[in-house]
Amino acid sequence: MAREVNTDGAGRTGQRRRRPTAADVARTAGLSRATVSYVLNDTPHQVIPERTRQRVFAAAAELGYSPSVAARALRSGRSDVVLLLLPDWPIGPTVGQLLEELSTALAEHGLTFVAHPRSAGRPVSDVWKAITPAAVVTFEELDDIETKKLQAAGIELTVALFGGLRGPRAMDIPEQRTGRLQAEHLAIAGHRHLGYAWPDDPRVLTFAEPRLAGVRQACADLGLAEPHVLTVPLTPNGAAEAVRAWQAAEPAVTGICAYNDEVALAVLAGARQHGIDVPGDIAVVGADNIPAAAIAIPPLTTVQPDMQALSDYIADTIVRKLNGRPSPKRPGSDIHSVIRRDSA
């Protein structure tokens, strides 16, 4: 908490070489600082002859000049940084991929992307004070107090990826599609009584809710019974209990939609404990397509999001909102697809 890092900017190295400023470039080029600024930002409505421009570029290159973000941010009142607040539940390969894709997508619009893991328990409010991003992206909707603080800190835009049921600022990524595709896949294979493997971790609620909702909708649309929802812990024994309960149900459940691939793997382990064959006795569909899914026993059929398309959509939304333009239209059902393997 305390600022125990010395702040003299020089460190122990003492006389560190000052990094070049626009003034240095101007001096080298034999021009004024204003001209340099106009050239380097090619400011509209400012006509600079080609010869002069080249002089500036040459000087800048020679000195290895790069503008100070701190000064630019101070001057313009905003930075080109987009901050993603990571959720407090353990992040896996899916989120990892989102980070990467989002980073490239935003970079194409000139925005720099960084992620900050919200330290469990600590107040979130300190982060943006140290970054002043142009936009803050969260997984779940922030509560009102947090939002107020954010606005007070001068952040123009906050975007929540999920949990659109609760707030207006949400992007409402169509996570129901995941559940819908799981159920449809099982229905096509002839399963009439589905189970839903609900995650044990309460922190993923905002994520699990829409997925289950999707399964519910699909069941209703296809004339199937309501899904039989059971909480499945990430242990073989706990999962075995759930599997037993599904088997004992009347009529027996024959197809399981799992909240994600990990829960699905637990179901596989639970089934194995009872000698129940997958997919013969019971079929399982996961979600997210983590690497472990491909090498599960049996290899796991799962629903995969098109992270690149998703990230493009998110990036597009952010850029448009920053410019006061309306959001792009929501992506269709094509951003999710079923990866057919052996478990269903």
Partner DNA sequence: TTACTGTACTGACACGCGCAACTGACGCGT
Partner DNA sequence: ACGCGTCAGTTGCGCGTGTCAGTACAGTAA
d(CA 284, CA 272): 13
The DSSP bridge partners found for residue 305 are 336
DSSP string of 269-306? HHHHHTT--TTTT-EEEEES--HHHHTSSSPPEEEEE-
Which does residue 33 touch among DNA, a copy of itself, none (CB within 5 to 8 A, set by kind)? DNA
Residues numbered 196 to 255 that lie near a copy of itself (CB under 8 A) are 234-236, 239
- Both tokens assigned to 52: 């002069």
User: By the 8 A CB rule, do 256 and 267 touch?
Assistant: yes
Spell out, one character per residue from 150 to 189, where the chain touches a copy of itself: x when CB under 8 A holds, - when not. --xxx-x---------------------------------
Q: Counting beta carbons within 10 angstroms of the beta carbon of residue 139, is it exposed (0 to 12), middle (13 to 18) or buried (19 or more)?
A: buried
Q: Nearer Cβ to a copy of itself, position 19 or 166?
A: 19
- Is 274 a binding residue for a copy of itself by CB under 8 A? The answer is no
- Is 37 a binding residue for DNA by CB under 7 A? The answer is yes
DSSP string of 107-173? HTTT-EEEEEE--TTS-GGGTGGGT--SEEEESSPPPHHHHHHHHHTT--EEEESS-TTT-TTB---
How many DSSP H helices and E strands does the chain contain?
A: 12, 10
The DSSP bridge partners found for residue 124 are none
Which does residue 292 touch among DNA, a copy of itself, none (CB within 5 to 8 A, set by kind)? a copy of itself
Largest CA distance in the chain: 87
In order of 19, 73, 185, 197, 271, the CA distances from 296 in angstroms are: 53, 49, 19, 17, 13
Which does residue 223 touch among a copy of itself, DNA, none (CB within 5 to 8 A, set by kind)? none
- Is 275 a binding residue for a copy of itself by CB under 8 A? The answer is no
> Shortest Cβ distance from residue 48 to DNA (Å)?
5
Residues numbered 105 to 134 that lie near a copy of itself (CB under 8 A) are 107-120, 122, 126-127, 129-132, 134
The window from 42-50, 111-119, 294-302, 331-339 that contacts DNA (CB under 7 A) reads 42-50
Which does residue 31 touch among a copy of itself, DNA, none (CB within 5 to 8 A, set by kind)? DNA
- Is 71 a binding residue for DNA by CB under 7 A? The answer is yes
Which does residue 4 touch among DNA, a copy of itself, none (CB within 5 to 8 A, set by kind)? a copy of itself
Residues numbered 228 to 247 that lie near DNA (CB under 7 A) are none
- Is 110 a binding residue for DNA by CB under 7 A? The answer is no
- Both tokens assigned to 105: 């997508």
Q: Point out which residues bind DNA (CB under 7 A).
A: 7, 18-19, 21-23, 26, 30-35, 37-38, 40-41, 43, 46-49, 51-52, 65, 67-68, 71-72, 74-77
